[in-house]
Structure 1
Amino acid sequence: MAGNPSRLSVAAAVTVACLLAGAHAASAETARKPFGMLPDGGAVEAITLKNHKGVSATVITYGASLQALTTPDRKGKGADIALGYADLGHYLSQPQYFGATVGRFANRIARGQYSIDGAAFQAPVNNGVNSLHGGTKGFDKVNWSVVRVTDTSVELEYVSPDGDMGYPGQMTVDATYSLNENNELSIVYTAKTTKTTIVNITNHAYWNLAGEGSERPVYDQRLTLLADAYLPTDAGAIPTGEVRKVAGTVFDFRKPTPIGARVRDASDTQIVYGRGYDHNWVASRTRAPKPRLMAVVEDPVSGRKLELLSDQPGIQFYSGNFLDGTSSGKSGHIYREGDAFVLEPQIFPDTPNQPAFGSALLHPGETYSNTLIYRFSAK
């Protein structure tokens, strides 16, 4: 799927980003300040984008991560709904992918092994016997450079050297966060390479619409996934290759359904494997020409609503099954199982080893892109 991206698709992604960034630009605000110092002396910055509707987004350069997202409830009271840490030290000592940009290859590659044109490659194994989110030092664990800050956006860049984590080609990656007065936060990822390689980049934000410091888990928040199939996995979370219809299964979220309604249903082996949901839903078999609605989550108590749009064919839904009480967030709240959900638009996991899923290849002269749009409201 990621191979041979059309010039039109990339242009469409850039156009969307520009439109989002340009809407009501004069009324937006941006703040920029230090966030900490890395052991190697590198300075980490925090850039906060604000609009006049009570929405703000803070992005840190470490991992090109969404560190905070504040949005009002139905009474106009704001809360930070994105899990994360208050200081850099915890991002370094207790990495959890909170809000991080993940790549070069998001999700899992079986045994970390894949081939390109007959040549074998090995990515680090860091999730059982498999490679997860690019390996032991993926895009989430490096400090990105600030390219540009405007009234409505921040553009970050990272240059991944040839051979980084076992991936061929020098890859230049761009992440642009934009916030507009329609309460839409967009993230546009693009990448170029000097050698044929594989790529799958997405954002790993953890959400709780009640607030990241709330005592309420996400289980009563209602999820809709606009997908009629999902990818079953083996016990190691690698897709088996089957594309299974959701109808009649605990994976059917085509209508609004509480996240916790069936999250512990051990009658389905897939739930047992993931200790809940940690699977990829199939929105389409190929990349869409422009972002379309993929998921909706609503909190009946606060009234907050999150809509997620993307142009990717798949979306990983993770129900926070492995939050184990070892991490304390910005408000001092200990994060435990069910305290958040994750939605990651992407190509399908293990695509490099499963030709039926499409292609993850990126060739020199091509541009990879993934556009995500988070739309916030309350009712």
Structure 2
Amino acid sequence: MRVYISILLCLLSVSLFSQTTRKYSNEFMNIGVDAAALGMSSAVTSHTADVNSGYWNPAGLLALKDNQLALMHSSYFANIANYDYAAYAMPLDNQSAIGISLIRFAVDDILNTTQLIDEQGNINYDRISLFSTADYGLTFSYARKLPVQGLNYGVNAKVIRRIIGDFASAWGFGLDAGIQFETNNSWKFGIMARDITTTFNAWAIDEGEFEKIRDAVEGQNQELPESTEITIPKLQIGVSKLLNFNYDYTLLAAANLNVRFEENNDIISTSFASINPALGFEFGYVDMVYLRAGMGNFQNELQIDNTEQLTFQPSFGVGFKYNGIQIDYAFTDIGDQSVALYSNVFSLKLDFSIFR
């Protein structure tokens, strides 16, 4: 039992301390939404055109013909963490559209054993309680057409809420901006700038709860963590092309360049920025059945013998659409194929034209 207590306390310490590492702040907002997009390794910046555009590129909301609702659920780390998403979007007129979405990434029902053993060393299981660590991201989206034919823009205002039981909580705010452009020969281009204002989080740490774990592990939790963190901007640049074959068959090919302004293990990395490509494909039949595949998260991983090996994250998916209802499935993970366990992602999209 003492081992379990130590593990829990260490995890809490890491969770709190990690809030000062700015490049990993609010990483739950980068996992992605919509099984259709995840099945294409998230290479959808240029052609996203539904309710999920509020996340991928708000400029895509202008493709809406009617109100839409989207839902998604996935579990990660052997079902320990649950990732849920809901979104709603609607056109205002033929020039603008709005949307709202909510993301929740959480580990629930964690055993709080910090009070299990009293000062005399007695164990009392009635002193065990449960808590959750949860991250919430609420996004408000607005999109509008520009005077240039085929050019649209969109903006997001994000509110971040992060909670670690009674130990700590945070509020954060940030902005995104995106554009899409379609040429006369059906090539599509898109740019999505995330956290353009450098998203800021402010933490409130309960000193009373912190005192309970201050000396639980020797050399750990001796000082209160910092109370602020930031999320640096990221840039996603995309291009896509839809090809039609014999009227019934389509092939959508898309590519993204994901740019982070930091040096890391991405396939292209400098002291100024790193670039990580992603490729996605979608084969469609009569606009009803879809097969998807993608490759992304290319990394130069350092091996035991100090050599580097190129790794990537493959993704697969299928989808079915009929009469305004679309159900999608993706088989993917949130790391590369050598780290995290793969997860089953399910999403549902409902077009309100079904009720007209």
Higher strand fraction (1 or 2): 2
TM-score, structure 2 as length reference: 0.32
